[in-house]
Structure 1
Amino acid sequence: MSIRETAKQFRIGSASVSRWINQIEPKASTTRQRKIDKSELIKDVEQYPDAYQKERAQRFGVCQKAIWQALKKWD
């Protein structure tokens, strides 16, 4: 089957089929799970009350969203 025929059969763009052909190996997952210690986060907030979440994330080695979720979870 040609790229165009494959795209038509699956109702997707031919560019998607081309990308799939050129990238046979799956991409490595970039998600990482790591628990943030509640007591360590509390200490960090007390020590650096005006710090941005991005700065906290760098200190804990996680993404900014993980800090946001932990702060939201623990009020």
Structure 2
Amino acid sequence: MAYSKDYREMILKKLEDGHTYRQLALEYQISTSTIQIWCKNIDGVERQFKPTKIDNKTLIADVELHPDDYHYERARRFNCSDRGISKALKRLGITQKKDIKPSQGGR
């Protein structure tokens, strides 16, 4: 959870009044890095991208069309990470297929 702007302003005011980063960090149980970030930008950091969710129907169609593809190949088509594909497939109950039949050339 983010700290309120009033709280951040109060801590920065104390910093201006002569308190050190370490004193404020110990007193308010926050890291010195957090205080330094607030000094640079008190409003916080805005997310640069909107997270996307992989559409279930589209993913199922992709699996049917390309059943033997690796996660990284699907990730390229969906413009996401390998891990995102892995989680989406797990959510749908799609697992790696195991062939239990013996190979054709073996005896």
TM band (smaller chain) = 0.5 to 0.7
Spell out the pairing of 1:57-72 with structure 2 (5 A cutoff): 57-72=75-90
Q: Deviations over 1:20-58 (max 9, x none)?
A: 2123232222451334142x3233223323322122122
State how 1:10-21 maps to structure 2 within 5 Å.
10-21=28-39
Judging by fraction of residues, say which structure has more helix: 1
Q: Where in structure 2 are there 5+ consecutive unaligned residues? A: 1-13, 94-107
TM-score by length of 2: 0.51
Supply the RMSD in Å over aligned alpha carbons: 2.4
Structure 1 portions without partners, runs of 5+: none
Count of residues paired in the alignment:
74
Identity %: 31
Q: TM-score, normalised by structure 1?
A: 0.64
Larger-Rg structure? 2
